[in-house]
Amino acid sequence: MEETQAAADEQDRALVRRFLEGQRDAAGALVDRYQQRLFNVALRMLGNVQDAEDVTQTVFLNAFLKLGTYDPRFRFFSWIYRMTVNESLNMIKRRKPTVTLDDAFEVQAPGAAPDRAAEAADQVGKALMGLKPDDRAVVVLSHFVSFSYQEIADVLEIPVRTVKSRLFTARERLRLALDEGVR
């Protein structure tokens, strides 16, 4: 049965509490809960597996170092997703502009020939990387994490109207970019 959001939040809080009480196995449990999600967010933001791995590790290390100041009134996932997006944005600022896309994107197209799926993956990757990093963050959280506007606003600490404006503009760009790629 899928975990409800309230139950997930409560479990996060319990793990944070246990970690702060010195029960270090809670760190492993938190990594288990979030590493795949955070790694994929970083991957979509950066388009590079190695960079995504570095960002994910840095986020967890920073999170564990700062866990003492995490305010349990707020949702843990917003906090850690925010760190992931910010660290990814930092990585984009720091790295050389020549970083190439690796095989970060794989498109599942049932019934399609493998080369068609690879082509689609390439198109998606290029279109996404063509967006401004701030817009990309909104698209990633919306399309790959399925966050609501409000959840994206909480993670990025921007108003909902800004989320919508960025998402709609970015999606329009993606539509044009993908359309161009098909032609």
Determine the interface stretch with another protein among 6-14, 20-28, 130-138 (rule: CB under 8 A). 20-28
Contacts for 21 with CB less than 8 Å, ≥ 6 apart: none
Q: Which of 108, 113, 114, 183 binds another protein (CB under 8 A)?
A: 108
Give the whole-angstrom CA distance, residue 55 versus residue 39.
8
Q: Is 54 in the site for another protein (CB under 8 A)?
A: yes
Give the whole-angstrom CA distance, residue 74 versus residue 92.
27
Cβ(53)–Cβ(41) under 8 Å? no
Give the whole-angstrom CA distance, residue 66 versus residue 55.
16
Residue 57 tokens read as: 């590790």
Cβ neighbours of 105 (radius 10 Å): 20
Q: Is 104 in the site for another protein (CB under 8 A)?
A: yes
- Per-residue contact track with another protein, 31 to 50, x per CB under 8 A? xx--xx--xx--xx----xx
Q: Is 180 in the site for another protein (CB under 8 A)?
A: no
Q: Is 129 in the site for another protein (CB under 8 A)?
A: no
Residue 161 tokens read as: 């109207």
Give the whole-angstrom CA distance, residue 40 versus residue 140.
9
Q: Which of 2, 4, 94, 183 binds another protein (CB under 8 A)?
A: 94
Q: Is 156 in the site for another protein (CB under 8 A)?
A: no
Residues that bind another protein (CB under 8 A): 22, 24-25, 27-28, 31-32, 35-36, 39-40, 43-44, 49-51, 53-54, 56-58, 60-62, 64-69, 86, 90, 93-96, 104-109, 120-121, 123-124, 139, 142-144, 148-149, 164, 167-168, 171, 174-175, 178-179
